Amino acid sequence: MTPLYERLKELGATVRDEHVLIRSWPVKILPAYTPLVEDAVRGAVEQARWNEYARRYA
C-alpha cells in the first residue's frame, strides 16, 4: 500500500497514519484480500448522493 499512499501525497493528499483525508474525513484504503472481495470490487455500481459519487458493493 505504500506506493499508493506515496502517490496520493505527490498529488497533494493529506495522509495521516493509515488514513487519507478526503474533505476532512479520514478514509482507510483496504486491499482486495480474497477473490470474493475482488469480484465485489469489480462489480461495484457507482451512485451519486448529495452531489458526491461513491461505489456501492453488492
Once rounded to an integer, what is the mean pLDDT over residues 3-20?
A: 88
Distance CA 13, CA 29 (A): 13
Q: pTM of the entire structure?
A: 0.52
pLDDT for res 44: 78
pLDDT for res 35: 94
Predicted confidence (pLDDT) per residue in 19-45, tens digit: 999 888 888 888 889 999 898 888 877
Distance CA 5, CA 52 (A): 22
Domain ranges within the chain, ordered by starting residue: 2-56
